Amino acid sequence: MSTGNQGPISVTNSSINHSAVECTESLRGVQDALYVLSGKWKLPIIITLTGQPRRFKELQRQIAGITAKVLSKELKELEMNEFVVRNVYATTPVTIEYELTEYSQSLNTVIEALRNWGIQHRERIIGQHKTV
Amino acid sequence: MSTGNQGPISVTNSSINHSAVECTESLRGVQDALYVLSGKWKLPIIITLTGQPRRFKELQRQIAGITAKVLSKELKELEMNEFVVRNVYATTPVTIEYELTEYSQSLNTVIEALRNWGIQHRERIIGQHKTV
DNA sequence: GTTAGCAGTATCCCAAAGGATACCAGTATC
DNA sequence: GATACTGGTATCCTTTGGGATACTGCTAAC
């Protein structure tokens, strides 16, 4: 698939999911979702694009530490997954703007879930270290 | 933190989150959550442990393709994050069982969210390829 | 005409993730 | 007494992700 996710990992567990097929589909679904958000810079790029479109160099300036090579690669992946569109305007010289798609909004619920769980988890783990 | 997640990436976007602090905390939360599920084998291990505890070699046999080294490392990370406990039984020779914790259940909602989104996404992307 | 900005690409390099293989001490079986 | 199983560890190797740096063709400003 165009997300670049690899072939299936086989784990057979018929006790929670009712069939091996369902189990495999679930696993693949979770792994696909994790895959599209993987990498150090996907989230920072999405956050930076939230609200307003940005040009390439603008993005690079906003996101401290990212190199042009990596930004370029990540933007292509985000485009492939239809989170971002690349708009070319025929100004001289051409202006290129990256913009979040409507579809990218569909990530919101999963990002919210990750966020809430992550914040809670950090507190839990750090809290325990303090008591030791 | 014990998840091994790295230092913060700075992205300042005051337009969606109301303060830079909130934005950073959200980003870190999401990245922490992604981090604890990262790696090729975490999910397969969790799935295999769902329902029944398993011994080390049992796990290795169930999860096709994982090596002892990687299984051992992943189990340690899962233990650190309190998803798994390692039980040692004083049989001769000792029996060691890995078991999901109650806390690991807290992942269920986020895994569900990832799963649903992931399955939907795969259909969307593959569907488009067919029409081309 | 030199400098600076744009939107990247190309090349080289390094560290981390993960695979392959060998090995260990202890016990139980044939 | 050789073989096999347990719960791993150690070593070596390849692949991947990502950083650093240089460069490109084009245009606008000084």
B23 pLDDT higher than 60: yes
Does the pLDDT of residue A10 top 70, yes or no?
A: no
Query: Domain containing A62 — which CATH number?
Result: 1.10.10.10
Name the closest residue on chain A to residue B59, using Cα atoms: A11
Range of the domain at A8: 1-36
Identify whether residues A25 and A43 lie together within a single domain.
no
Asked if the model's pLDDT at residue B52 lies above 50, the reply is yes
The pLDDT confidence band at residue A7, using thresholds 50, 70 and 90, is: low
pLDDT score recorded for residue A2: 44
Mean residue pLDDT across chain A: 89
CB-CB: which of A1, A51, A117 is closest to B106?
Answer: A117
Q: Look at B124 and A82 and tell me if their CB atoms are within 8 Å.
A: yes
> Is B11 part of any domain?
no
Tell which strand D nucleotides have any atom below 7 Å from a protein Cβ. Answer: 5-11, 17-22, 25-28
Residues A44 and A76 in one domain: yes
Chain A positions touching B51 (Cβ under 8 A) are 13, 15-16
> Which of A66-75, A86-95, B94-103, B114-123 is the least confident region?
A86-95
A-chain residues near B30 (CB < 8 A)? 37, 43, 111, 114-115, 118
For residues A70 and A125, membership in a common domain is answered with yes
Co-location of A92 and A110 in the same domain: yes
Judge whether residue B7 has pLDDT over 60: no
The separation, in Å, between residue B99 CA and nucleotide D5 C1' comes to 22
- pLDDT tens across A21-36, in order? 988 999 999 999 999 9
For residues B39-52, average pLDDT: 97
pLDDT score, position A20: 83
| Residue B52: inside a domain | no
- Residues A62 and A1 occupy one common structural domain: no
Copy the structure tokens of residue A1.
């698939």
Same domain, A90 and A119: yes
Of residues A11 and B31, more confidence is placed in B31
Q: Are residues A60 and A115 in the same domain?
A: yes
Report pLDDT digits (tens) over A100-117: 999 999 999 999 999 999
Residue B20 within a domain: no
pLDDT surpasses 90 at A92: no
Edge to edge, the sheet with strand A95-100 lists: A54-55, A95-100, A84-89
Per-residue pLDDT, B126: 86
- B112 domain-assigned: yes
Confidence class for position B92, pLDDT limits 50, 70, 90: confident
A20 touches strand C (CB under 7 A): no
Among B16, B25, B124, select the one facing A119 at the smallest CB separation: B25
Q: What is the pLDDT of residue B2?
A: 45
Distances (CA, A) of A124 to B43, B80, B126: 21, 12, 39
Of chain B, the percentage scoring pLDDT greater than 90 comes to 75
Asked if pLDDT for residue A57 goes beyond 80, the answer is yes
Per-residue pLDDT at B132: 52
Judge whether residue B79 contacts strand D, using its CB and a 7 Å cut-off.
no
Number of domains in chain A: 2
Best residue of B47, B49, B101, B125 to probe chain A, by most A CBs closer than 10 Å: B47
Contact flag, residue A96 CB and nucleic strand C, below 7 A: yes
Q: Give the CA-trace dihedral at B119, B124, B129, B132, to 10 degrees.
A: 160
Residue A78, pLDDT above cutoff 80:
yes
Is B70 domain-assigned?
A: no
Residue A76 pLDDT greater than 70, yes or no: yes
